[in-house]
Structures are given as structure tokens and as C-alpha cells.
Copies of this chain bind each other. A is one copy, B any other.
Amino acid sequence: MADKEKKQLHVNLFEMNCVSHIIHGLWVHPDNNRHRFNDIEFWTELAQLLEYGTFDGIFLADVVGAYDQYRGGPETALREALQIPNNDPFFIIPAMAQVAKNLGFGATSSTTYEPPFSFARRLSTLDHITKGRVGWNIVTSYLPNQAANYGLDAEMPHDERYRIANEYLDVLYKLWEGSWEEDAVIQDLEHRVYTDPSKVHYINHSGPHFRVKGPHLSQPSRQRTPVLFQATGSNAGKEFAGRHAEVVFTGGGSPEAVRANVADMRARAARYGRNPQNIKFLAGAGIIVGKDADEVSAKFDNYKRYISAEARLAHSQSRIDYTAFPETVTIGELKKREVSGYEFIPPRYRDEQTVGEILAELRSVNYGRFFVAGTPDIVADRIEEWLDVDDIDGINLVQYLTPGTARDFIELVVPELRRRGRFRETYNPGETLRERLLGAGNARLLSEHYGAQFRDPANFGKATEPLAIPEQNNDAGLELSHHEFRERAAADSAAE
């Protein structure tokens, strides 16, 4: 296959503005730098490193609440620095964009809790500041504590959150795509006309969840609508992604499962009138690379020593503290004794499994299908498989150490991928984030995309098209397999 026909790898660094994001326990590692996350220099140094490695971007997860279900409170999360303390993900972007002129930035914000009008302006502002390098990870939020931080007694039902999100997106498209026509800003000094008023429109959105008059306050930015990211596993979420998402953060336990998942989502995109290849898939990937086998296994063993099973349990919002039982006790016995929270034991924890086995899994550094530990050629082989067999488009690189994991990838994996024609040698100057994904000239939402209809103010009055999800269904409960829960934890963290 000629190089130009080979699928190119997209790589983001998977991050969060906190100490312990997703690989828990390693913040105490002497080579880790996470405790510096409050210092902006932590982020600007990281951005410079990533730009040196021609990463696509940095992808910032977020939660606006604490993990406080495990052991009935936030104590474990606080001790382990599990996503608390955390800071707003958006504010570090303008500083990073100052020192890295090509890197892209994706960050997470919730459609359930942030008023759409101010949010629209925030993202337009960031798109101006970064000159078109910003993406938004759309989440509906799932933490009970987050709901309580916004005045709610409990989380809203899962599918209802997606219905709200679906209308929220309509509001945003109207503001971003249609409120200001392309040639509204004329800056006519002679006639003292900055904006032609006939080309700026109120949106007058009025729906079941939102009423927003407009006009949008920011003039059009390079991308207008930021690149739309989403992570999901549920039916409602996949329908939402088929319509809205340009990049989906996905997973799966086997190549077959991943392919099926990707194919399902591409089919949904096609049903929404999109070219199925225009929706891109990224997997959260754990990569441990070394110059030789000894270095690889030394790193592997070293990282493993730090992994915190308790933080993983807290992250999963487990209602059972498995560390409180002897390792020989079986899941079946826990159920028989009806220990507190036993009804939330994931169904794929088999009755004959022991607590020791569960804990061993929780202490593993293995990241399922998208994990590889090896020398550069082994890692590159695996990445090529992910691209060609699993049919994904790239990875969100999960960090064991900051900045060690990214540095290892840049020093050892990037050169090998370049040799194989799988990764860019340099950035094209001036690229927006969307063009990096969809090709030069595609700075804006593709015309096939659902949101593009709102370029025409005549469509502002249309009622929001419901998602094709059953009214009463709510399929995102806690009935998840252990594998699923591991992946969900990963996806949710990305998502949140």
C-alpha cells in the first residue's frame, strides 16, 4: 500500500486538569509531575512537548463534582486525588495556545448544567484565541454529586439528559452557524460600519428546555462550531453521536467488538445523511514502550507497583469495598451475605470469583484491547492493527507518568510510525483542528452535517428533531460487565 493510502494515526494526549485522572495511584511516582497541575507552567511545558511531537491535540476530560459513593463519601477520592482537586479545563487552553501554535485542544462541558448562551460565546472566544483549534467534548454528566452542586436532588434520567442535549445543540448551531452571516462583518472605516446589521439575526429559539433570543455575541470564528467530540456506549448516546459527533471516543474488548461498535455508529451517521467515513473514532490507549524488552518489563513492573485498586473502586462509584473482605471470599458469598451494595455487583463478576481475583484485576495496568507494552516495533504493529483491523482512526494516549508517557511516545513510537508512513512529519501551517481531522479546506462543519441546516435563519423556527430513542427507555444503568465497567470508567472519564 502506498503511504498516502495508509490510514494516518490521530493522537491526542488524554488529560484532565487534576492530579489523578484515570490511571490511579501513580501520582506518588518520583518521576511523575501531576502535583504541579495548578501551575500553568505544567501545562505550557506539556503543550510544547506535544507540539514538538506533532500531536493532534490535548483532550481534557472533566467532572464538576466529586466521586463520593464508594464507602459513602469522598474520602477515598480526596486521599487518592482522584479527579479532586480539579480545575476548569477551558482556562488552561489560552495559555497553552500561546506557546504551541499548531496543537489542537478539546475540552469537556456539560449540556445539563451550563446555560447554552454563555457557553456558545465561551467556545467562540476560544476558537478566536486559538485561531480555530478548539473542540468540545459533549457530555450530559452522570455524577450524583454534580447534580447536587446544581440544585438537583438526583441526576436526571439518562435518556432525558440526551433529549435536553439534543435541543441544546440546536441552540448552539443557530448561534454558531446562522446568527451571523459570513460577510456580516465588513469593517467599513469610511462609512463607519463595523457590521452590516441586515446580516445578523436573532435566533428566537423556543423549545421545551431552552428559550434563547440571540443574536450570538461573537463574530464568526475560523471553525464557528468547534469540533464536536463525544464518548458514549448507550443507545441514546449513539443516536446522539450519529447525528452530532464528529469524533467519537470508543472502546471494546476485542477487535470484533470494536469493529462492530464502529460500524454501528457509522451506520447511524449514514442514517442521518452523513458520509460514514466523516465520523472519526478514537480509543483511549495505554502504551508502555521501551528501547528493549528489559526496559519495557521494568517500566511495566514499576508502574504496576503504584496502581491503586481503591482509587479504581472509588472511580467506578462501587458500592462495595472489596478490600474490606478476605481475598478468598467469593462474589457468591458476598451476595449470599447481602453485604451492603451487593445488588450493584457487576453481573459479569462471576459467583465463583474471589475478592483476590477482583482486586488483582483492579491493580492491573492493562487497558484491555487498547493496551500494549513493547518495543517500538511491537507498539507500531499494534497501532497499525488498531487502525486497520479495529477500524479506529486514532488514540487518546493515556498517561502513566506526566510528561514521561508522552515523551516516551514521541521519542520511541513517533519515529517508527513515521517510518511506516502512519504519522505526519510536520504540521501543515495554519490548519484548524477540523482540517486536521477532515482535510484541508474543511475548517467548518461539513455541509452534510445536521447542524449545517442552521446556516439558514429560515430554519431557526423548526422544532428540534427528536432522537430516535424510546421515550421510556433508560439503558445506561449500572448493569455493566467488569470489562464494560472498566471501559465505561475510561469512557466516562473522557466523557466527563
Residues of A at under 8 Å CB distance from B? 17, 19-20, 25, 27-28, 35, 38-40, 44, 64-66, 73-75, 78-81, 84-88, 90-95, 97-99, 113-115, 117-118, 121-122, 124-126, 128-129, 145, 148-151, 180, 185, 187, 189, 192-197, 200, 210-215, 217-219, 221, 308
Pick the contact of A217: B84, B98, B180 (CB < 8 A).
B84
Note all chain B residues with C-beta closer than 8 A to A215: 66, 74, 84
A122→B88 contact, CB < 8 A: yes
A80:B115 contact, CB within 8 angstroms? no
Do the beta carbons of B85 and A185 come within 8 Å of each other? Answer: yes
User: Which partner residue on chain B sits nearest A76 by CB separation?
Assistant: B197
Q: Which residues of B contact A79 (CB under 8 A)?
A: 192-197
Would you give the shortest CB distance from A146 to chain B, in whole angstroms?
A: 9
A27 in contact with B194 (CB, 8 Å): yes
Residue numbers in B under 8 Å from A213 (CB-CB): 145, 148-149
A331 to chain B, nearest CB (A): 27
A51 to chain B, nearest CB (A): 15
Looking at the assembled complex, report how far the CB atom of A127 sits from the nearest CB atom of chain B, in whole angstroms. 10
Asked if A219 and B148 sit within 8 Å, CB to CB, the answer is no
Given A79-B197, A86-B121, A117-B150: 13 more A-B contacts, CB < 8 Å: A64-B217, A74-B215, A81-B195, A84-B215, A87-B125, A87-B217, A88-B125, A91-B93, A95-B129, A113-B115, A114-B118, A145-B213, A148-B212
Q: In whole angstroms, what is the CA distance A124 to B92 when docked?
A: 12
Bound: A85/B220 CA distance, A? 9
CB atoms of A38 and B194 under 8 A apart = no
* B40 and A197 contact, CB distance less than 8 A: no
Cα of A180 to Cα of B38 in the assembled complex, Å: 15
A98 touches B38 (CB 8 A): no
| Minimal beta-carbon separation of A232 from chain B (angstroms) | 23
Instruction: Tell me the complex Cα distance, A122–B87, Å.
Output: 7
Query: Hey, which chain B residues are within 8 Å of A25, CB to CB?
Result: 192
